[in-house]
């Protein structure tokens, strides 16, 4: 069989697509896969790293601004969507897929719309509780809608199309035990690992907090810190830390642009500090990791805070809102949790209770049901 997968913009959209492709390949080793992504975005790097072919489409986002620049940007976006729709239809005809699956990002709209017009089975996965603009626009176009949360059904005009699957995680997350991951990363038995990651692109406010927090470490703490700054902020973070914490290794701190080996690093972590995107939540619950969550305020309908509160209510997360804490108080909370093994274990149990470990299989069953 042949499958086209489309995803884009952030790892939260890309990784579920890679998980689905990986599982379909396990089930049908002779299958062929083609990814369609947004030109210049991170999928153009991450997808080939996973061993799949990807072709670009010119996609730009919509601006919510009300000035002339925003208007001109949105006019250009509409033109790009029209051109990408035409190009996607050409690519789909040439490849001849049995199904086309989207997992989020603006690029999904022209691709899935084109596939629907060509009468090819289509499905879209929405990982957030509240559907984004792309999913709303596609709801009447696609054959199946797959969602991460039961409460999401209410937002769709055709509930009979909707299936609750959870959000898939890559198969690599099952490959690592904590002991193996720690051994490969060279973490001593008497040290805990605090993982700090704020989205695949990074987050300006949280990078500011972390550049203040890292110089507060003196190396005597019982944990080491691994912080992912993100592509947009890495250079600036490192430039500042050259002045305030040039001896990061002695402080038991490390900063990376991006964590390409996230399954291994997350398996090794004792506590994670992060955003509350649905894909991240699926990975955290799958790995049963205690978490300090700072939901992004820059999302529609406060969906990240709504996601985070579910974890907090279950007892697996502490939720902080941007602007309500500083570097010192964040470090204090992290040290408090890391020093209480019983509490970490209780939080881990709560996270495990929320997991949907078969999300990838659920999605694959729906896809195969469409084409058989």
pLDDT of 310 reads 85
- List the chain pLDDT tens, one digit each, 372 residues: 999 999 987 878 898 999 999 999 999 999 999 999 999 888 999 999 999 999 999 876 666 666 766 666 567 666 767 788 989 999 999 999 999 999 988 899 999 999 999 999 999 999 887 788 889 989 999 999 999 877 788 889 888 899 999 888 877 888 899 999 999 999 998 899 999 999 877 899 999 999 999 999 999 999 999 999 998 999 999 999 999 999 999 999 999 999 999 999 999 999 999 999 888 998 999 999 999 999 999 876 687 898 898 899 999 999 999 999 999 999 999 999 999 999 999 999 999 988 888 999 999 999 999 998
- Whether the CB-CB separation of 33 and 53 falls below 8 Å is answered with yes
Q: Among candidates 55, 57, 44, 188, which has minimal Cα distance to 110?
A: 57
Token pair 């406010």 in the structure block, residue = 205
pLDDT of res. 94: 97
Domain ranges of the chain: 2-167+357-371, 172-353
At 98 the pLDDT is 98
Q: pLDDT at position 301, please?
A: 67
Please state which CATH class domain 172-353 belongs to. Answer: alpha beta
What is the SS3 string spanning 278-313? HHHHHHHHHHCCCEEECCCCCCHHHHHHHHHHHHHH
DSSP class per residue in 328-352? HHHHHHHHHHHT-HHHHHHHHHHHH
CATH 3.40.50.2000 fits 2-167+357-371, yes or no: yes
Strand spans (E) along the chain: 2-6, 32-38, 54-57, 99-102, 122-126, 144-147, 162-164, 192-197, 223-228, 253-256, 271-274, 291-293, 317-319
pLDDT given for residue 64 in this prediction: 66
What pLDDT was estimated at residue 296? 92
Whether 2-167+357-371 shares its CATH topology with 172-353 is answered yes
Whether the Cβ atoms of residue 123 and residue 143 lie closer than 8 Å to each other: yes
Per-residue model confidence (pLDDT) at position 128 = 81
pLDDT of residue 140: 92
C-alpha distances (whole Å) from 145 to each of 9, 47, 92, 138, 140 are: 20, 23, 20, 9, 10
């Amino acid at each position: 069989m042949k499958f086209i997968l489309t995803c884009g913009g952030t790892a939260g959209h890309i990784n579920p697509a890679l998980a689905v492709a990986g599982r379909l390949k396990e089930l049908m080793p002779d299958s062929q896969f083609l990814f369609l992504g947004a030109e210049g975005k991170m999928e153009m790097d991450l997808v080939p790293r996973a061993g799949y072919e990807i072709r670009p489409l010119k996609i730009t986002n919509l601006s919510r601004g009300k000035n002339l620049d925003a208007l001109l940007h949105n006019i250009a976006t509409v033109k790009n969507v029209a051109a990408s729709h035409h190009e996607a239809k050409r690519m789909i005809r040439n490849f001849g897929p049995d199904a086309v699956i989207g997992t989020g990002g603006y690029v999904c709209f022209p691709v899935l719309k084109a596939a629907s017009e060509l009468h090819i089975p289509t499905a879209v996965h929405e990982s957030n509780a509240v559907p984004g603009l792309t999913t709303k626009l596609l709801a009447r176009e696609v054959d199946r809608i797959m969602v991460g949360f039961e409460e999401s059904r209410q937002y769709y005009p055709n509930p009979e199309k909707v299936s609750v699957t959870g959000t898939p995680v890559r198969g690599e997350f099952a490959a690592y035990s904590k002991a193996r991951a720690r051994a490969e990363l060279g973490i001593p038995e008497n040290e805990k690992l605090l993982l700090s990651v704020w989205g695949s692109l990074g987050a300006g406010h949280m990078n500011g907090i972390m550049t203040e927090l890292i110089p507060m470490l003196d190396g005597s703490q019982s944990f080491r810190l691994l912080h992912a700054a993100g592509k947009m902020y890495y250079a600036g973070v490192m430039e500042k830390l050259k002045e305030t914490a040039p001896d990061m290794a002695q402080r038991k701190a490390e900063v990376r642009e991006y964590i390409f080996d996230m399954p291994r690093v997350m398996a090794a972590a004792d506590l994670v500090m992060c955003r509350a995107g649905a894909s991240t939540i699926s990975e955290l619950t799958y790995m049963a990791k205690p978490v300090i969550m700072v939901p992004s305020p820059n999302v529609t309908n406060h969906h990240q805070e709504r996601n985070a509160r579910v974890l907090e209510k279950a007892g697996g997360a502490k939720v902080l809102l941007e602007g309500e804490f500083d570097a010192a108080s964040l470090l204090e909370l992290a040290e408090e949790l890391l020093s209480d093994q019983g509490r970490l274990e209780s939080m881990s149990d709560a996270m495990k209770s929320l997991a949907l470990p078969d999300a990838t299989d659920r999605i694959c069953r729906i896809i195969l049901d469409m084409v058989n």
